[in-house]
Amino acid sequence: MRGLGTFLIGAGLVLVVLGVVFTMGGGPLSWLGRLPGDIVVERPGMRFYFPLATSVVLSIVVSVLAIVFRWLR
Protein backbone atom coordinates (compact mmCIF):
# COMPACT_ATOMS: atom_id res chain seq x y z
CA MET A 1 0.00 0.00 0.00
CA ARG A 2 2.94 2.34 0.52
CA GLY A 3 3.67 2.34 -3.22
CA LEU A 4 0.10 3.37 -3.98
CA GLY A 5 0.32 6.23 -1.48
CA THR A 6 3.55 7.48 -3.02
CA PHE A 7 2.01 7.31 -6.48
CA LEU A 8 -1.08 9.25 -5.36
CA ILE A 9 1.06 11.96 -3.74
CA GLY A 10 3.15 12.30 -6.91
CA ALA A 11 0.06 12.38 -9.13
CA GLY A 12 -1.47 15.02 -6.85
CA LEU A 13 1.62 17.20 -7.10
CA VAL A 14 1.57 16.94 -10.88
CA LEU A 15 -2.10 17.94 -10.95
CA VAL A 16 -1.41 20.94 -8.70
CA VAL A 17 1.41 22.13 -10.97
CA LEU A 18 -0.77 21.68 -14.07
CA GLY A 19 -3.60 23.55 -12.36
CA VAL A 20 -1.33 26.49 -11.57
CA VAL A 21 -0.02 26.59 -15.15
CA PHE A 22 -3.52 26.53 -16.66
CA THR A 23 -4.80 29.10 -14.17
CA MET A 24 -2.07 31.52 -15.23
CA GLY A 25 -3.39 31.37 -18.78
CA GLY A 26 -0.32 29.73 -20.28
CA GLY A 27 1.88 32.71 -19.39
CA PRO A 28 4.83 30.65 -18.16
CA LEU A 29 4.63 28.41 -21.21
CA SER A 30 4.19 31.09 -23.87
CA TRP A 31 7.72 30.33 -25.16
CA LEU A 32 6.75 26.73 -25.86
CA GLY A 33 6.69 26.21 -29.61
CA ARG A 34 8.73 29.34 -30.36
CA LEU A 35 12.22 28.25 -29.38
CA PRO A 36 15.24 29.19 -31.52
CA GLY A 37 15.72 25.61 -32.73
CA ASP A 38 12.16 25.21 -34.05
CA ILE A 39 12.03 24.98 -37.83
CA VAL A 40 9.54 27.19 -39.70
CA VAL A 41 9.46 27.39 -43.50
CA GLU A 42 6.96 29.81 -45.03
CA ARG A 43 6.25 29.88 -48.74
CA PRO A 44 3.30 31.37 -50.60
CA GLY A 45 0.36 29.07 -49.94
CA MET A 46 2.31 26.79 -47.60
CA ARG A 47 3.68 26.81 -44.08
CA PHE A 48 5.82 24.01 -42.64
CA TYR A 49 6.44 23.95 -38.90
CA PHE A 50 8.57 21.40 -37.07
CA PRO A 51 9.10 22.07 -33.33
CA LEU A 52 12.52 20.41 -33.04
CA ALA A 53 13.85 22.31 -30.00
CA THR A 54 10.48 22.15 -28.26
CA SER A 55 10.43 18.37 -28.74
CA VAL A 56 13.90 18.04 -27.21
CA VAL A 57 12.96 20.21 -24.21
CA LEU A 58 9.74 18.25 -23.61
CA SER A 59 11.62 14.96 -23.91
CA ILE A 60 14.12 16.07 -21.27
CA VAL A 61 11.35 17.22 -18.93
CA VAL A 62 9.42 13.96 -19.30
CA SER A 63 12.61 11.93 -18.76
CA VAL A 64 13.44 13.84 -15.58
CA LEU A 65 9.89 13.35 -14.30
CA ALA A 66 10.11 9.62 -15.04
CA ILE A 67 13.39 9.39 -13.13
CA VAL A 68 11.93 11.29 -10.17
CA PHE A 69 8.83 9.07 -10.06
CA ARG A 70 10.99 5.96 -10.29
CA TRP A 71 13.15 7.30 -7.45
CA LEU A 72 10.06 7.99 -5.31
CA ARG A 73 8.86 4.46 -5.90
CA angle 60, 64, 69 (to 5 degrees): 150
Per-residue pLDDT of the chain (73 residues; tens, 9 = 90+): 777 888 888 888 888 887 777 677 666 667 677 889 999 999 999 999 999 998 998 899 889 988 888 887 7
Does residue 13 contact residue 65 with C-beta atoms inside 8 Å? no
What pLDDT, on the 0 to 100 scale, is given for residue 27?
Answer: 64
Single-letter amino acid, residue 1: M
Does residue 39 contact residue 55 with C-beta atoms inside 8 Å? no
Determine the Cα–Cα distance for residues 73 and 1; give it in Å rounded to an integer. 12
What pLDDT, on the 0 to 100 scale, is given for residue 48?
Answer: 93
What pLDDT, on the 0 to 100 scale, is given for residue 43?
Answer: 96
Domain boundaries, the chain: 2-72
Determine the Cα–Cα distance for residues 22 and 32; give it in Å rounded to an integer. 14
